[in-house]
Structures are given as C-alpha cells and as structure tokens.
Amino acid sequence: MHKGILLFVAVLIGLMIVLPASLVSIQTDGGRDAQEREKPLLSEGPDVKVYLTEEKKVVDVPLEAYIRGVVAAEMPAEFHTEALKAQALAARTYIVDRMQRGNFSDMEAMGEEAAAAQVSDTVQHQAYLPDEQLREKWKNQYQQYSQKVNEAVQATQGKVIMYDGKPIYAAFFSTSNGLTENAEDYFEESYPYLRSVDSSWDEESPKYLDEKKVSVSDLLQKLQEKTGKKVAVSAASGSGWMEVKKRTEGERVATVRVGDQDFTGRQVREALDLASSDFEWSIDENEITFRTKGYGHGVGMSQWGANLMAQQEKTAEEIIAHYYRGVDITAVEQDEE
C-alpha cells in the first residue's frame, strides 16, 4: 500500500475495530431520543477539521459523521440507496485524498479562522451539514432520511475509491449534458480515471436545461472583472461578435471568441454564473439569452446520473466503475511489511 495513506489506514482500521456497529440505523422506539441513538455515529472516529462558514468557526467532526453530513448535504435523501452509497464512497475518498495530500492552503483565503481547518462546509470542497441543520432541513422526515443516509454510510464504511494504489480525486457534480468531461478540459490537471463517459440518461434530470438572460454590457463587464481582459466589440460585427471556436470531448465550450478576446467556457460560465459550460445563446438587440445543458462542472460522477442508474438496478459499485474509469473500491487493510 502507498505510504502516503498509512496514517489513514491505521486510523481507519482502529475505527473498524472499535466501532463494529458505529453507524447504526435509527429505530423509532419512542423510548430514546434520536440524538442519543445516533451518539455512536456522531462521537467516534478520526476527526476532520471542518470550517463552518456561517458560524465562522472550526469544528472537529468524526470521519464517518462527516461523511454522513456530506452525503445529506450533497445528495437528496429521496435518492435511491445505491446512489447514496456511491455518494458516500466519493465523499469519503475525497476527504481521505485531501488529507493525504496535506495541502490546506486554500483555507487561508476564507479568513483567519478558517486557516486552522482542513476543509470547508461549502461546494468549494464538499457541502456539509451538521445534525442540527439536518433536523431543520428534514423536519418531520428526519428519522426516515437520517436512517437511510446512515445505512448508506454504514454499507460503505472504511472503503475508498483507489487508482494505482492511491485514493482518487473523487470529483462529482449535479447533472451532465449527456456526457461527463475530461478532467483537464475543465480543471488544470489531468487524471486517467476522470474521462468523458456517456451519461445520456441525465436528460431526465430536472436540472438538465436552464436559461439565463444578461445584457451585453453586463456580459462584457463581468468577463473583464473575471479575467482582466477588456473586450472591444466592433459595431460592424453585427450578431457575429460571439463565436464558439472549440468544444471539448464532453461537448462543452472549450474556447469562445467574444469581440476581440478569447475565453474558456469555464471563464464564461463562472463570470455569468451559468449552470454549465455547455451553452448556446441568442442575441436580441442588447440582451443575450444563454441556454445551458447540465448543471455543474461535469467532471466525475453525475449525482442525478447515479440516481437514474440506481433506478435501473445498477449497484453503487457499478455506478462508481462507470464514472471513475479503471478504479478499485478498497476496504483499507493493515499494511504488510
């Protein structure tokens, strides 16, 4: 086993030994409070230092409780259990990989309080909700949803997604445009397991299509604010002053010409807060209507795609194997010297 994860192996093995039933289903016996019944889940395991952005404080959260809070925040509890299991695997792998790398320098940009944390509770890393917020979110369905999410976490306990003996960068997002994206076509780094794959069933997602209107002046101003590039548009160019020059393998915009400047699809998406970098547009005088397919960056596992696969009786393992190519799901074991 790669030496970079020996610490996590040791800690997780300890967790598995002392917590044979740490992630228990919540029973509706009426004689004990739900929070007390959850105590083993919420009070054991190696800690993750999470920065709570609203409270502006860092809290230590046991690993499996952190995974529970991520799954509950990132994926609707109404989703199929196999999709929730796939999300739990991705969430655990993401944080194990991040902690193995040991680079938390991006936390400093969130403020002095955040500098001591390893991860935030935002989608910049993984969304996370503590139990008290889940009670508010789920209300009278708290018991039902809490049990369902707990079971998904329990079913994957101690397991991570590996490639070539190392935890992967387990990127995920909401909804594809019908294909996922090669990692290097959106992010700066290439990963052999984050390749463009079919996810055409995402057309059934309620987030598959979106539309947004912006003025021409807002477009130019926001692009300049985002990139520092000042765009000049010729009055003689008509409606042809915007043109897609290249698309990615995942059929998103790779490069678009705006006036006299080139931008990436990601830059336009982030500048205008578009749902996806797969966009087309129409221009009506001073107003541009952008029409997008998909929701999110498009790299890795589509969450709606995972749910739709699960509804077609695909297991969590099959979902993971589809969206992360050539990987293994590994239960950590003690390293043999």
For CA atoms 141, 95, 252, 203, the dihedral sign is: negative
> Over the stretch 86-130, which tens digit does the pLDDT of each residue have?
999 999 999 999 998 899 999 999 999 999 999 999 999 999 999
Predicted confidence at residue 45, as pLDDT, reads: 56
What is the pLDDT confidence band of residue 141, given thresholds at 50, 70 and 90?
very high
Residue 149 in contact with residue 84, Cβ under 8 Å? Answer: yes
Predicted confidence at residue 178, as pLDDT, reads: 98
Percent of the chain with pLDDT over 90: 79
The dihedrals phi and psi of 84, each to the nearest 5 degrees, come to -65, -35
Its pTM stands at: 0.84
The structural domains of the chain, with segments of one domain joined by +, span 3-170+300-331, 209-293
Residue 291 in contact with residue 272, Cβ under 8 Å? Answer: no
Predicted confidence at residue 331, as pLDDT, reads: 87
> Which one-letter amino acid corresponds to residue 76?
P
Residue 68 has pLDDT above 90, yes or no: yes
Nearest to 296 by CA among 127, 169, 181, 218: 181
> Over the stretch 172-187, which tens digit does the pLDDT of each residue have?
999 999 999 999 999 9
pLDDT average, residue stretch 22-39: 39
Residue 208 in contact with residue 202, Cβ under 8 Å? Answer: yes
CA pair distance 290, 294, nearest whole angstrom:
13
What is the pLDDT confidence band of residue 237, given thresholds at 50, 70 and 90?
low
CA pair distance 321, 315, nearest whole angstrom:
10
CA pair distance 300, 90, nearest whole angstrom:
10
CA pair distance 168, 1, nearest whole angstrom:
14
What is the pLDDT confidence band of residue 139, given thresholds at 50, 70 and 90?
very high
Helix and strand counts by DSSP (H, E) for the chain: 11, 14
Of 10-19, 277-286, 311-320, least confident by mean pLDDT is: 10-19
Residue 151 has pLDDT above 70, yes or no: yes
Predicted confidence at residue 30, as pLDDT, reads: 37
